[in-house]
Structure 1
């Protein structure tokens, strides 16, 4: 009798686990879509020339006279064209390097299933921002929700500052990225969460004198930016969509402030 009860209890637990697993929402995360205006300088120089020469000559001689005639006709034509200026066009596409950490945060936090989104194909026209159209095209099979992100601002900055003492100075490369996110129900197209999140990264070097060559760790800057963006976005999803806090995440203190990530200190490189 006891064994039967144990089997029933185990079966009930198994069914409950399967039910909970099936109830967890399936989310697809898109790459960050961007649009920017690009201006490029152009200069065009064109030159051409053509020429022609025609000539004729004749002589006439009789018993009483002698005559000769000659004629030359020369023509020359040249053309020169020069133009310069700037032309502007709209560049659209997807950034594929800043959502991996966000996907990792969703997996670590638990409570959801991550669905692999199909990449956008075709010419990057304005319809790349039509997330409803992309859902209807079946680009997110099996997903209950799509987390659609667009870049609102991205900027690299390179700066240098004199230290207070001595002749040394600091040189830094930083990146700031701001993205707008919408969590959309793939069946009803209802927006379940909407927010903006920012990420940043920096690499700092100390140089002994101005003019020294500095090589920045661009990969480190991009990695820090991706991780801090993921933390900020996951914090908003916890508040608006009710994602679980997950392990090693501090509980919210009554507001929707984005979590702050303090990177571990790294040794500073001194160039001499």
Structure 2
């Protein structure tokens, strides 16, 4: 009986093939683990850190406003924008930073947290900061105020932006808002209540009409307002996990009361 002879070079080829397959498998597993860690970091860790930071900022604002109220409970003419000290805010911590005012107009510093957005239906309570910088505002879990738009309670459009996914995702459930829902904006001196009365489910990311003083879509002109008023605009990306389109929720100011 003849015993087949396996050539040495065939053995080497088989060993090399096994080594290549094993190495390739290790590379794929490693790449999968890295991708999984990146997904966890984006979907869980950034949310965790941003939410904790936003909660601390809300608490810092409330402490500051409480201290300001107790220090000067009977300040005459105290109203939004009436006193730089009344609406000085904390930025990134509990240390107060002053705003500047011109007449009756509040002018926060860039990236400064100076108000709180409250949406009861979404169980949301989040800081509002000046500007829409990703690094300094939105990625901190804050809601950002579009520069150049009006401030809370003023005639015109108080326009805000927030992440829908990752970094705290304060506006993830914005599509759950319905007509007649309320949206509140708290400052150091007043609480402004807006009532949702128009919703634009989707428009172009470049549709600047939604944040104009009289908000009206340039892409879908049937959505928006035609007369001056006191408006709020909430914008975020849509659909989820993309930034291809924007959605907008609009409300009209229905009440103003001094902060207790």
TM-score, normalised to structure 2, is 0.22
Query: Which of the pair has the greater relative contact order for Cα pairs under 8 Å at 6+ separation?
Result: 1
